[in-house]
Amino acid sequence: MKLSILGARVIDPASGLDQVTDLHLEAGKLIAIGAAPAGFSASETIDAKGLVAAPGLVDLNVALREPGYSRKGNITSETRAAAAGGVTSLCCPPHTKPVLDTSAVTELILDRAREAGNCKVFPIGALSKGLEGEQLAELIALRDAGCVAFGNGLESFRSTRTLCRALEYAATFDLTVIFHSQDRDLAEGGLAHEGAVASFLGLPGIPETAETVALARDLLLVEQSGVRAHFSQLTSARGVALIAQAQARGLPVTADVALYQLILTDEALIDFSSLYHVQPPLRTRADRDGLRAAVKSGVVSAISSHHQPHERDAKLAPFGATEPGISSVELLLPLAMTLVEDGLLDLPTLLARLSGGPAEALRLPAGKLAVGSAADLVLFDPASSTIAGEHWLSKGENCPFIGHSLPATVRYTLVDGRISYQA
C-alpha cells in the first residue's frame, strides 16, 4: 500500500525537523518527506491539515497482564488501548504469571502481540528467576527470544552481592538492566509518601530515602560493573538529582518517570481514593517540580505511562487493601499534552521524551521519522480535546483522569504504515 499524509506539521525531535510538509509511505516504510519520489502514486491519502505528525510514541512500561491476569487485561485489549494513546512501541514488564523469565513466555507474548497487531511489543525479561532476587534468569536465552532489557521491578535482590554479580553478568553481554530503585526495608508496609498527608490520614509511609538510598547504591554498582542501566519510575527530586550527578560524572545512565507523577501529588490521597494508590507513591509538590525540571533538562529522557490496569474489585476496598496502579496508556498523548498546555515543556521536547528518548534508552528501533525506517507514526489534532473515558478500551477502568477534558486528540496511529487506530 502506498500512503501519502498531506499537509501535517511534521515534528521529528531526533532530527530537529518541524515544518508543514508531506509524508509518503510504502511497504511499511517512510520513503520520503516533502515531495513524493518520482513515479510514486499514492493509493490512499490522509488530509492532515491542522494535524501534527510525529514519531509513534514509545512507552517503556505497559503492563499487558497476559499471561496470568486476564481479569485485569490482556495483550489485545491493552495494546489497543496503547494505540489509542498514540503508542506504536511499548515495553511490557516481567510481572506476569508465570513470570517472564523463560523464552516460552517471551514467545507467547510476542506471538499474541503480533496477532493483535496494534503495537510493537518489546518484552522486559526478569533479571532473576521468578523475580525472587536470588538466582539469575537465563538472560541470553531471553535476549535471543526477544527481551530487550532486564529488570526485577520493585522486588529487590535479597543480597547486594547477588545483584552485583547479576550486573556483571549482564555487562558481559552488553545487556541493559532496568532499575526500580526502592529500598525494601525502608518501604516495607508503606502505602503513601511519608509526609504530612500520610501522617494526617494515618497511612503508613514510604520515605523519600526508600528511593534515594537504593538509588545511590545502585548507581555505584552500575559504575563498578559497567552495565548499561536505565532507572525507571523515579519519584523524588533528590532521586533525579542523584541521576543528574551520575550523568555529570560521565556515567551513561538514563531515566524515566511515570506521566502521572508529573501531574499528581500526594495531596490527591486526601479522601482515601484508591485510584491514587500507586507504587512507588505519589510524592510532594516539590518532588513533582523536581521531576518536571529533570524532564525539561533531559536528565530524565523518557516519560512512560506505567500503565497498570486492574479489575474493578482490585480498587474496591479500604485504601490499604487495594492494589496499586493507574490505567492510563490510552491517554498517554492527551495527558502528556497537559504539560505543554501548562507551559512546562514545548511540543518538540515533549515528543522527544515520548519517542526518541525512551527508544534510545533501551536501544529500540523506534522513535524517529527517518526516510527508510519503519513508518510508525502518530497524527494528532493539537487544537481539539479528548474527554477522557468517553471511549475506553483498556480492561482497567482504574484511571483518576476519567471525566477530565484533556488537550489534543489522537486521529491516527500507524504501525509499519498500517493504521492501528483511527478516531
Q: Does 213 bind other proteins (CB under 8 A)?
A: no
- Identify which of residues 245 and 273 has a Cβ nearer to other proteins in the complex: 273
- Identify which of residues 220 and 387 has a Cβ nearer to other proteins in the complex: 387
Among 14, 20, 21, 272, binds other proteins (CB under 8 A): 272
The amino acid that residue 351 corresponds to is L
In the numeric block, the cell 512512560 is attached to: 304
| CA neighbor of 389 nearest in space, from 381, 399, 379 | 399
Q: Does 286 bind other proteins (CB under 8 A)?
A: no
Q: Does 199 bind other proteins (CB under 8 A)?
A: yes
Among 35, 196, 220, 383, binds other proteins (CB under 8 A): 196
Q: Does 403 bind other proteins (CB under 8 A)?
A: yes
Q: What's the closest the beta carbon of residue 198 comes to other proteins, in angstroms? A: 8
- Identify which of residues 222 and 399 has a Cβ nearer to other proteins in the complex: 399
**Stretch 312-351 residues interacting with other proteins (CB under 8 A):** 313, 315-321
One symbol per residue from 74 to 113: x for binding other proteins (CB under 8 A), - otherwise; what is it?
----------------------------------------
Among 194, 287, 311, 360, binds other proteins (CB under 8 A): 194
The C-alpha cell at 38 is 518520482
In the numeric block, the cell 531471553 is attached to: 142
The amino acid that residue 245 corresponds to is Q
Q: What's the closest the beta carbon of residue 399 comes to other proteins, in angstroms? A: 8
Exposed e or buried b per residue across 128-146, where buried means at least 16 C-beta atoms within 10 angstroms of its C-beta? beebebeebbebeebbebb
One symbol per residue from 232 to 271: x for binding other proteins (CB under 8 A), - otherwise; what is it?
---------------------------------------x
Please give the distance of CA 55 from its chain centroid, rounded to a whole number: 15
| CA neighbor of 388 nearest in space, from 374, 409, 412 | 409
Number of residues that bind other proteins (CB under 8 A): 34
Q: Does 392 bind other proteins (CB under 8 A)?
A: yes
Stretch that binds other proteins, among 113-121, 212-220, 354-362, 401-409 (CB under 8 A): 401-409
Cross-strand pairs, 229: 177
Q: What's the closest the beta carbon of residue 390 comes to other proteins, in angstroms? A: 8
Measure the CA–CA gap between 75 and 59, rounded to whole angstroms: 15
Among 48, 92, 203, 354, binds other proteins (CB under 8 A): 203
Contacting positions for other proteins (CB under 8 A): 194-205, 271-276, 313, 315-321, 389, 392, 397-398, 400, 402-404
